[in-house]
Amino acid sequence: MVRPKLKYGDWRPQELQGLVKASYMNPGFVRASCATPIDEALDTVYNSGESCLNVKYSGQSYRNLLGFMDVWTHVHDNGTSLETELSKRPNGKHNLFDNTTMVSSWIETEYGDVAANFEAHNRIINNVTIAMPHPGVYSAATDPINGILQPSDLENLGGYSIRASVVSPSLNVMCVNMSPSELVPLIYEWPNARNEATDVPGQKIGLDDWRTDIPVAREGEWLNRTVVDDIFQWGPDYDRLPPVFQLYPIAHNMVVNTSVINSTAIYILMKPNFPDLDDFTLCELRSWVTTKCSTEFDLLGLVGGEMRANCEDPGNENAYWHSVEDVPPWMSPDWRNLVDQWQLSMNVNGGVTNNNASNARILTQLVLRRPALDPLLPSVAEALAVYASSALVAGSIQSTFRHYWGYAATELDPGAYEAFNASVRQQEYASSHEQAWQGVFYVVLALVFAINVACLAYLLLVSTREGGLVTDYTEPQNLFALAVNSPPSAALGGCCAGGVNSAALVAPFRVGYAEGANHYFFEEAGPGAGGRDGSLSPPAGAGKNADGRDRAASDAELFGSPCRGGRYGDSYKRLSSSRSAVWL
């Protein structure tokens, strides 16, 4: 309990600052931030940033998807979890800077009830929204401007926890099952369409410039109406246009549309291959920053860091919505441009060439066939959300902590610091108990402290009295000083060469005092050799003073002179005249 050890302190409110350099989902900034040594001298077209980003996206996305599928593999094989409630199902993870694990959270789960959606629209709707912790909290925590003690300051020991009141990047994935006939308005097989046959019998595809035939909707004009307009919020009531696809994908393939005018979404059309399901599945991906979460960041020197999005928790006092009024989601228009690069990096649009890609095969096998979530398998919307979470994080790095962008330019150089509220606790060295039962030892420590105080008070009281404190001659330094300043001992005579025997050590001694020289010394207590009779005879020269008190012998009386001699004169003469005197 007394030994200092690392221990968390109390939570304390603190205003932190984080460096902001770009707006949310800024594709140009994300591309320029990808680290690559290839410059214009090597890549004259200067696609090095795009190439770097493609590799980054593909690596992170596949790792996220495989990690998610690994968790579901244990659920599938063990059969221990039978959750069909979205909020309790496994969520996705992402590695930030390779040393911090980001854990997502499912939000707005009331819209993810497949059975309720089926009852309302008479079709299978797989609707999920994933929220990630804000990656900027990591940069703020490690920024020296905030003065947070880092594990590197404690030899990679210690740690801290932060609960930040910031927005969280979120991604909505809504997948709707549609029959081939319901998709007719969205597939480029209209009358007079310029199509050609593919290698697959019965399949047609638009020519390379097929997009030029899609009418540009002017004000008050709209494209073909569909039976899912109210589900996807297309048409004049929502001021949004639907996508158009180049062809019907074959089984286990996907095609993409990212070219809808003024759209904030990307659309993926896929075809599963189930004997009991002839439908296609159309998925819409949109992103915004949610105010329903807080970002929790825990860092331990030897373990690493973990960030979590704590969302829709009534007891979460650090949720961002406490700082602002209830604001509706604001869909990011830049999301479509950023995620377009993401889908190119993994050839999500590979269905236009019927490439039968592995990622498409995995995702199409997760399409829902019944109006309920499978307790042993993830749904296609869940998997797509985790799959695209790498783009969600990339577009949030060094972006604003607020629900709006309050600057004129979309990129800031060298950046601006934004403040946000947080609760912080740190590990520091402290002496305390670790287990609850160890608290009983505080009684022992209190008693020891009280005894020490009493002893100190006694010593202070005694020191104020005359003659209250005495010199302890048994302390090594005092003992040595007396020994070297004392006359030779008869009991120890001749022991310099042969060593001390046990008989010589029984000689009694006392501390003598020569008043004339104000000198203390050791002397044998008896007159015989070694003082074996135990009597205490005064040294030669000692006697009575005029006042009747004992008088101690002086140095001269003790040692004598060569001509007068004294009690120890002969011994002193032999010692001082010998060769060994050079050592004194």
Q: What is the average pLDDT across 331-344?
A: 93
Residue identified by tokens 């609850």 is 436
What's the CA gap between 473 and 229, in Å, rounded? Answer: 102
Amino acid at 460: L
- For residues 538 and 550, the answer to whether their CB atoms sit within 8 Å is yes
Which percentage of the chain shows pLDDT scores above 90? 58
Q: Which of 85-99, 329-343, 391-405, 563-577 has the lowest mean pLDDT?
A: 563-577
**From CA 285, how far away is CA 263, in angstroms rounded?**
11
399 contacts: CB under 8 Å, gap ≥ 6: 20, 21, 22, 23, 24, 25, 26, 136, 169
- Mean per-residue pLDDT over the chain, rounded: 86
- Lowest-confidence range among 9-13, 18-22, 344-348? 9-13
CA separation for the pair 170, 286 (Å, rounded) = 9
CA distance 260 to 337: 11
Q: Which two tokens stand for residue 76?
A: 């599938």
111-115, 238-242, 300-304, 464-468: the lowest-pLDDT one: 464-468
Only one residue has tokens 């001298």, namely 41
So what's the pLDDT on residue 547? 52
**pLDDT score recorded for residue 562:** 37
- Closest C-alpha among 271, 254, 280 to residue 343: 254
Q: Kindly state the helix (H) or strand (E) to which residue 573 belongs, with its residue range.
A: helix 569-577
User: pLDDT tens across 176-203, in order?
Assistant: 999 999 999 999 998 889 999 999 999 9
Q: How confident is the model at residue 3 (pLDDT cuts 50, 70, 90)?
A: low
Where does 122-184 show beta strands of DSSP type E? 125-131, 159-164, 168-178
CA dist., res. 397 & res. 33, Å (int): 10
Q: Quickly list H helices, 425-538.
A: 441-463, 476-484, 495-498
- Provide DSSP, 322-362: GTS--------THHHHHHHHHHHHTTTTGGGGT---HHHHH
pLDDT > 70: percent of the chain: 85
Q: What pLDDT, on the 0 to 100 scale, is given for residue 434?
A: 66
Return the minimum-mean-pLDDT range out of 238-252, 347-361, 510-524.
510-524
Q: What is the pLDDT of residue 526?
A: 66
Residue 300 has pLDDT above 70, yes or no: yes
Write the DSSP symbol of residue 508.
Answer: -
Q: Are strands 304-311 and 100-103 parallel, antiparallel or unpaired?
A: parallel
pLDDT at 423 over 50: yes
Half-sphere exposure of residue 22, counting CA atoms within 13 Å on the CB side? 16
Half-sphere exposure (Cβ direction) of 537: Cα atoms closer than 13 Å: 13
User: From CA 396, how far away is CA 418, in angstroms rounded?
Assistant: 14
More confidently predicted of 575 and 527: 527
Q: What letter would DSSP give residue 532?
A: T
**Is 50 exceeded by the pLDDT of residue 545?**
yes
| 114-161 tens-digit pLDDT | 999 999 999 999 999 999 999 999 999 999 999 998 888 878 888 999
Confidence of residue 576 (pLDDT cuts 50, 70, 90): very low
Task: Give the pLDDT confidence score for residue 504 in this predicted structure.
Answer: 73
Q: Quote the CA–CA distance of 379 and 371 in Å, as a whole number.
A: 11
* Residue 584 predicted with pLDDT over 90: no
